[in-house]
Amino acid sequence: MVTLFKMIALYKQPKDKEQFDAHYYNTHVPLTEKIPGLRKIKVTKITGTPMGTESDYYLLCEMYYDNQEAFQEAMKTKEAKASAKDVMSFAGDLVTFMVGEEVEHE
């Protein structure tokens, strides 16, 4: 069994999806990728609900670290602070952050 630590960012529907996507993919992701200790980023664009309706949520981003200690150290860096400042500037009212452990059964 392998356990990975991750931070999850869940974004509500933005008013202007085109503008959100442009900033998210061209500015925010490149800033986030510079965070020391970050192993992988997975982005899921939410396309709807199982009932075929629009979701309240637009995007899910999972940022993986070796463990909680690595994550905590990463959050102290200037790169993490730059990423946090950026996300608050364009999506502060849309984003919810969570942390957790992902358990993979081999």
- The string of pLDDT tens digits covering residues 24-51 is 999 999 999 999 999 999 999 999 999 9
Q: How many CA atoms lie within 13 A of 76 on its CB side?
A: 6
- The string of pLDDT tens digits covering residues 39-84 is 999 999 999 999 999 999 999 999 999 999 999 999 999 999 999 9
CATH number at residue 44: 3.30.70.100
Q: Is residue 15 in a domain?
A: yes
Q: Is residue 86 in a domain?
A: yes
Q: Is residue 106 in a domain?
A: no
Q: Is residue 43 in a domain?
A: yes
Instruction: Check: CB of residue 37 under 8 Å from CB of residue 65.
Output: yes
Domain that holds residue 68: 1-101
Q: Count of domains in the chain? A: 1
